[in-house]
Amino acid sequence: MDVTRRSMLKWSGAGVAAAGFAAVIPAGSAEAAAVPNAGSVTAAAAPSAATQAAVKQAKQLVAEMTLDEKIAYCHGIPATKGFTGHIPANERLGIPALRLADGPSGVGNGSTGVTQWPDSKALAATWNPATATDYGKAYGAEQAAKGHNVALAPCINLLRLPHWGRSFETYTEDPFLNGQLAAATIRGIQANHVISTVKHFVANNQEILRNSIDVVVSPRALQELYYPGFRAAVQQGQVGAVMTSYNKINGTWAQENRVNVQDTLRDAWGFDGMVMSDWGGTHSTVQTAKAGSDTEMPGSTYLGDALKAAVQSGSVSEAQLDTMVTQVLTAMIRVGLFDHPLPDPATVVDTVVSTPAHLALARRIGVEGSVLLKNDGVLPLARPRSIAVIGNAADAGAQTHGGGSGSVNPNGAVVTPLAGIRARAGSTPVTYSPGTLGIAAVPVVPAAAFGAGLTATYYASTDLTGAALGTETVPALNITATPAAVAGQTDGWSARYTGTFHADETAGYRFSLGVGGLTTLSIDGKEVLTALPGREAVQNALVDLTAGEHTVEVTYVSAAPVGGRAPRTSLVLGAQAGYDKLHQAAAAAARAADVAVVVVADVTSEGMDRSTLALPADQNELITAVAQANPNTVVVLNTSGAVLMPWLGSVKAVLANWYAGQEQGNALAAMLFGDEEPGGRLPETFPAANDQGPAKTTVEFPGDGVQVYYDEGLAVGYRWYEHSGEKPLFPFGFGLSYTSFRLGGLRLSRTAGGLRAQATVTNTGRRAGSEVVQLYVAAPDAAREPAQQLKAFTKVTLKPGQTTTVTLEVARDDLAVWLDSTTGWTVVPGSYTVGVGTSSADLPLRGRLSLS
């Protein structure tokens, strides 16, 4: 591939030139010259007196430090139980230790006695910065009580694609909503004198090859999409620390990317705090120091002895080192770590820091962030005579948090959906049927099922061609070490396993694969599953088999990415019969009840991306079977984000409940019975099919093994759908209520600082409820934007019949677009269309204003 040519044609300064909306207005053109650079969009405000005092104190401390004492602040050391990074105290100078702890949805790293909160997606779905601040305060208090003075949260990477495995850790596809939530959460965390760490800077939007991938993205897309949340974190949230990402951005590792760190984060936005690497994300000494970064986490490979030697040799000036340490100390002083000492984590490992108030807040976020996607009158439940609760996820398989650094241990038991519904139902009978084997791996196929075993044939190629390196018989497919025949093939290898599988009964079989390489499973000559590495830990196939022998073939390819090493070998095949019988039992339970509540889930984690937006395993089939048995079927989605819904037309109600934390069941029951109203609105678009949305080619996601091209430019999320004309399943900002609202009376006016919109909102229903009023602006054609964009929103709660007037302000700077590095941020003169409504696709109130 001609990367230079592709870069010039696809993204040079513009976004999607090929799509027709991202061509840059040339410097010096009439459009660009008409309005001066809106520099205040990115320019840093003058430091406050408190910040100036913090910087002064930090510099005084640095002046007293020895070289070794300075170097100590440029790298972490291994941490102990309950936190993940540590910089020891400087007792001589009275500088407290730094103890860094995960994660975005609660105190992580195996901590106990803490609250397992609803995930960040649930918080984002509240569309309520005040709630985000409340969460930040409570979460920060738990970090502080555990002796952690640096919280590695929030994660605010824009959701470029809903397939991202860390979708549950982040907020949204929209940069404006992202920034508002980020700043609010940070203010709450730092109110506890705990440094908030916003992450991962920048363009970290996939897990596949995240440690090596080079993100090729236009400067305009960075400025308009991927930077704004971080800019808001710095300028509105006054965040103390920024964590860089693992990936490269336009050819340079994030931690040593001067354009991003020094030029943008520090010089343009005025960030004065600590820039740390993600764990193992540092790749150089001199370049990292000169890029504006401060600290390597963990260990000291590059910013320990190597940095000391670079300073002594003059490769890095001592003035640069002083600046690095000053920035770390400035964050500590500014956030209040010196004046508010915390306990030694070792003394509070077993201390319970979760409180009844925190659990109540977790329930409130679970309610306020749940999105009612469909309701044909079945909710809230009106005195049902009986309820059938169905789904493994309703009980033993309750999915209340994601995996990786975002995982959190609850204090006490998780309230499952089944437990919550039973507790609230009182004397109303509640039956339960699991309906599915769940979404975890099913038992490994025993050797007895393969009779004489499987014939394994190994190849030095990665496409099963060429002379075989050798053959052997393996008893089963539970392989977690590289076979001896291919042990020396560091550039990759492949294998074919053939044999027979004995089905003990005629039934529906679920096969599961856990793989480290590209794997196909064929039964009786038909390929039933292709399992991709770097995706879900468990990938599934549903196959109807008759009792007896069936031919089976499994192919496995262990291919090293370009410039990398072959992945860890893993090939684990599981099987279990009878998923169809579980569906039949669930349908019978549903048929006998007034209403059926089906709870379904997915499992996502750091380190993986989703291969599909379909619900895993046999959950779609389960919902279909239940809906055929009971017309009053409610589906509860405990998922990381968007899922496909082939059964949508057959069910009465759908509730997006996300990963709802340890109070999930209580919050869910309150909504189902109408004690509370689901108050959320979608922070992301739900596609109608896997092939909707941007990044339709491999080079656009997950990349060619070296680079991934953000060829969609500015068309991410709802911007893509409006630009392309694709119709999603549910649009960004969408959500129903248990009541109804009417918007009217739009009045637009220009203000000295931008524009103002006023509208009336009336609750036209019979019960109190909340609505999120959203304002979108479509710029003049000369701005070359793909779609109208969210620029303001407010959440109102009204009693039946109540009317209120909402006022939405948009600063002039928020109307600016990034033309190129010469013109920078520019408010393009012309006519702006303002739409006010309740989602990106429902804006009934419209008006126009001209700006010059």
Adjacent-strand bridge partners of 655: 372, 636
> What does the block give as tokens for 86?
């540590």
> What does the block give as tokens for 827?
């408010």
Cα separation, 296 vs 749, in Å, equals: 50
Token look-up 């019978």 returns: 588
Cα separation, 121 vs 167, in Å, equals: 7
DSSP calls for 564-591: S-PPPP-EEEEEEE-HHHHHHHHHHHHH
**Treating both helix axes as pointing N-terminal to C-terminal, what angle do 129-145 and 175-190 enclose, rounded to 10 degrees?**
40
Put the strands of the sheet holding 653-656 in their side by side order.
371-375, 653-656, 633-638, 595-601, 387-390, 430-433
Q: Are 661 and 400 in contact (CB under 8 A)?
A: yes
Q: Which of 174, 278, 602, 609 is catalytic?
A: 278
Q: Collapsing DSSP states into helix, strand and coil, what is residue 139? A: helix
Cα separation, 113 vs 350, in Å, equals: 7
Cα separation, 442 vs 616, in Å, equals: 13
The pair phi, psi for residue 629, each rounded to 5°, is: -85, -30
Q: Are 401 and 366 in contact (CB under 8 A)?
A: no
Q: Collapsing DSSP states into helix, strand and coil, what is residue 251? A: coil
Containing 143, the helix (H) or strand (E) segment is helix 129-145
Residue 847: Cβ within 10 Å count: 15
Cα separation, 580 vs 577, in Å, equals: 8
Q: Are 576 and 501 in contact (CB under 8 A)?
A: no
Q: Is 675 part of the annotated catalytic residue set?
A: no
Compute the chain's Rg from CA coordinates: 28
Cα separation, 386 vs 404, in Å, equals: 39
Residue 765 has what DSSP assignment? S
> Which positions are annotated as active-site residues?
278
